Amino acid sequence: MKEKADALHKEFLDRLAGLSDTQALENLRVEFLGKKGKITQLMGELRGVSAEEKKAAGLLVNNLKNAVQDRLKERVDELSAAAFDAMVSESRAYEEALLIAPARGSFHPITLMQRTCEEIFRSMGFTIEEYPEIVDDFNCFQALNIPEFHPARDMQDTYYLDNGQLLKTHTSAAQNSIMRKYGSPLRAVFPGRCFRNEAVDASHENTFFQMEGMMIDRDISIANLIYFMKTMLSEVFLRDVTVRLRPGFFPFVEPGFELDIRCLICGGGGCPSCKHAGWLELCPCGMIHPKVLEYGGIDPEENSGFAFGLGLTRLAMMKYGVKDIRTFNSCNLKALSQFANA
């Protein structure tokens, strides 16, 4: 067993030395730590070890797993730091170019918010995934424990297409595909545009942006969810923010919560953006329902996880002090360009 563990460790380190991007690191993680990975298979061989040797062999394999996980995290941190330095250098070069050339445009505030969140989650070991805007009923509803005619569908006034597909109503539609792609353990976020036949007002739009996130492994709890969300929000706003969890029903999580943020526009005093409540609903979240894990090919007896659907549009409202959500889709360049250097 020791010879096999040493050989796997050497193979891992040799492979790791030649990798320089996060996707290749994720592929390597799945190859060694995924549910069909090499270390997982080595753990399976413990069943054939004698009782006298099993404790030592188990410790050996567990140490190998921890060493691989630690080295992967170190490498992800190294790549994230290098990417951040490159982004800063690029930004400085761009600012210097602006001094000698006229401005030709700027990123949309939603794009700025999405990139900020992606960098924050990437620094915490999450991969960034993409998913189509046109999806089927299974991924958008059935795989999320929302069968046909379930009343929870009434919460999402959906745009259906003539071919039976639909415009995705939430980024949760990607959960099943991402779980089947990576298995467990898993850390991933997947931003995207969503569509609902909403009554448009200062805090609701029929087209908006979310960022879905999932973390699945052994012994994941609500405490992990709260930690990651508070860390993310403090990084976005560069200060501590006040959040609250209140019970919420979503068929794909159990228990389910609404994560609210104290309105940063009015400071909690009440305004049209928060419907004069002082709080703004930001992130439906909770522990992934066992049925959803099963649909994704993950054993709920061995694994648990949390999921959240972060509202990027509402997060941008709080970050930039935008009082009306309709501003983002208004094509008002005078209003949008002021966030270019925010």
> In a structure prediction context, what are the per-residue pLDDT tens digits for the chain, which is 342 residues long?
778 888 888 888 888 887 777 788 888 888 888 888 888 888 887 777 777 777 887 788 788 888 888 888 888 888 778 877 777 777 777 666 656 555 566 788 898 889 999 999 999 999 999 999 999 999 999 999 998 887 877 777 889 999 989 999 999 999 999 999 999 999 999 999 999 988 788 777 888 899 999 999 999 999 999 888 888 888 888 877 888 889 988 899 999 998 888 887 787 888 877 788 888 887 889 999 999 999 999 999 999 999 998 888 888 888 888 888 888 888 777 777 776 655
Provide the pLDDT for residue 104. Answer: 62
Cβ atoms of 253 and 287 closer than 8 Å: yes
- Supply the angle between the helices 51-100 and 22-33 in degrees, to the nearest 10: 170
* Alpha carbons 250 and 255: distance in angstroms, whole number: 9
β-partners of residue 166 are 135, 160
Q: Residue 206 phi/psi, 5° resolution? A: -85, -10
Length of the chain: 342
- What are 253's two structure tokens? 């999580």
* Alpha carbons 242 and 258: distance in angstroms, whole number: 14
User: Buried b / exposed e across 268-293, counting CB within 10 Å, b at 16+?
Assistant: beebebbbeeebbbbbbbbbbbbebb
* Domains of the chain, start order: 2-93 (no CATH), 109-339 (3.30.930.10)
Q: Which amino acid appears at position 32 of this protein?
A: F
Provide the pLDDT for residue 342. Answer: 52
